[in-house]
Structure 1
Amino acid sequence: MDVLGTSPEAVDAFLKHFKTSLRENSIFRGHVISFTASDYSSSAAGITFHRRISVAAGDVVLPSGTLDRIEAQVLGVGEHREKLLAHGAHLKRGVLLYGPPGTGKTHTVRYLAAAAAGHTVILLACNTLAYVSEAARMARALQPAIVVLEDCDLVAEDRSFGHGPQPLLFEVLDAMDGLDTDADVAFLLTTNRLELLEAALVQRPGRVDLAVGIPRPDAGARRALLELYGHKLNPSPETVNRVAELIEGTTASFAKEMTRRAILLAAIAGQEPGDSHMMAAAIELMSDAATLTRSLLGGTGENDQEPASSREAAHFEPGIAPGSIGCSG
């Protein structure tokens, strides 16, 4: 747009007002959006709007206090922006959720997107991770905003594993570093393979301020998951306890699929789903014949090992140790 006027000051003031109005009245503001990849160029082909799924805090099964710490960093910073800025603290932040597949990382992201009413949420995953620079520019213009990078290890692998520097890695780092200190923008990253992340991404202050491990659920969490996903089966407390013990080492994704399998078994038998079907589904999925199925649902953790980088990531938040606590879960 070209603007002509006799007063340069008036033209500048008009352009400033016009640009501000464009940002404030953007159709993207306050929505959950993602880019559509183009098959013919390196630029995005369009924008997709996503329904903001309602997820209650009680539906996110994590160890006590974990969700509160994540929510305080992602959303609490913006809620207290005036006090933080008055004391010289910056608003931009990065949060990394790491852990085995299926443990609830993506589900936690869904909860944060639902809780962040009024925030612009930009989702990047798989082939759209390449648009992180564009996402950062949009987030800056449409703040308060959250930029979600699912499975960020796909673009931020340790350079020692490849053939020299990865340009996309530098775009991620530049996007996180390039925001003004008063930008109310949160980068929310998830990964299943913390050991492959570039050290510069997770260890440099100002890029990731909080790293939280999302582990396989313990016995109490497994019971909570069975009650959450299987409430329509109305299982007895005894059955929930027995199944929770039987499926030790599994993930939230496993519990969800197991309850679905119980309903299917009941439907095939022409019966109402109940305790016997939940137990039968658990026995079936924990059998030797279902080893591959268990692996696809997140495994049972027999071979889980804590990578050295997990211990390093814990330095971001004293008291949060790896394992102390759903592209994939």
Structure 2
Amino acid sequence: MAAETARALQPSLVVLEDCDLVAEDRDFGDAGRPLLFDTLDGLSEDADVAFVLTTNRADVLEPALAQRPGRVDLAIEIPLPDREGRLKLFTLYSEKLEFSLECLEDAADATEGITASFAKEAIRRAVVNAAAEGRTALDADLVTAVAELMSDQDQLTAKLLASATEWPQEDLDADPEGLDEGLEPNADEHPLR
């Protein structure tokens, strides 16, 4: 379908985000030929169509993507933004807001290793939290939003990378959603023990 639409609108550019979802290495499952190949192979050589594929998981892509000449002509890695890049992102996403330059610089300093979407979410969260209180966003709102997101990110990363034996017992027993309500606790049945 995408190939037919792109051909009808040529010259055209097709952007496929998270292409790993449709071009995963065949060794990871028995799905057969990756879906992406049907799309790419659905165009003749004279078609004036370019594809831009994005992924955060190049390591799981089907190797045949790179091995067949003409299928992928150029691969570019876009690294995480450095401090200057983070400052530009915070400045861009807060363009019509009144955060001070000092606050934006502090946010850039405090967020090493983040993506552009993190910066956008920090600004969004600061604005939403302020709006919930019936006011415009202030520097303190951005400071709080960045701190919360960095804390959430650190906690999730720690849990994903830690082995079950390293997790605090209270985290293993916690049931914040009440999902285990009415169930008898049984240590042998806990999936992380």
The normalised TM-score by structure 1 is: 0.43
Matches within 5 A, 1:56-205: 134-163=1-30, 165-166=32-33, 168-175=35-42, 178-180=43-45, 182-205=46-69
Secondary structure of the 1:171 match is helix
In the alignment of these two chains, the number of paired residues is 158
Specify which structure has the bigger relative contact order, considering alpha-carbon pairs within 8 angstroms and separated by 6 or more residues.
Answer: 1
CA RMSD, Structure 1 to Structure 2 (Å): 2.5
Sort the Cα spacing of 1:197 and 1:172 in 2 relative to 1 into closer, same or farther, 3 A.
farther
Return the letter of the residue paired with 1:179.
S
Secondary structure of the 1:223 match is helix
Secondary structure of the 2:87 match is helix
Matches within 5 A, 1:136-285: 136-163=3-30, 165-166=32-33, 168-175=35-42, 178-180=43-45, 182-285=46-149
The normalised TM-score by structure 2 is: 0.70
Return the letter of the residue paired with 2:12.
A
Any unmatched runs of 5+ in structure 1?
Answer: 1-133, 304-329
Sort the Cα spacing of 1:265 and 1:154 in 2 relative to 1 into closer, same or farther, 3 A.
closer
Give the Cα separation in 2 of the matches to 1:286 and 1:167: 36
Secondary structure of the 1:249 match is coil
CA shift digits 1:88-116 (9 cap, x unpaired): xxxxxxxxxxxxxxxxxxxxxxxxxxxxx
Query: Is contact 1:233–1:275 with CA below 8 Å preserved after alignment?
Result: no
Q: Which has the higher strand share?
A: 1
**Structure 2 residue aligned with 1:291:** 153
Give the Cα separation in 1 of the matches to 2:128 and 2:100: 19
Structure 1 residue 281 displacement after superposition: 1.6
Structure 1 residue 227 displacement after superposition: 0.7
Sort the Cα spacing of 1:167 and 1:279 in 2 relative to 1 into closer, same or farther, 3 A.
closer
Return the letter of the residue paired with 2:29.
G
Secondary structure of the 2:13 match is strand
Query: Is contact 1:236–1:275 with CA below 8 Å preserved after alignment?
Result: yes
Sort the Cα spacing of 1:138 and 1:265 in 2 relative to 1 into closer, same or farther, 3 A.
closer
Secondary structure of the 2:59 match is helix
Secondary structure of the 1:210 match is coil
Give the Cα separation in 2 of the matches to 1:167 and 1:272: 48
Secondary structure of the 1:191 match is coil
Return the letter of the residue paired with 1:237.
L
Any unmatched runs of 5+ in structure 2?
Answer: 162-193
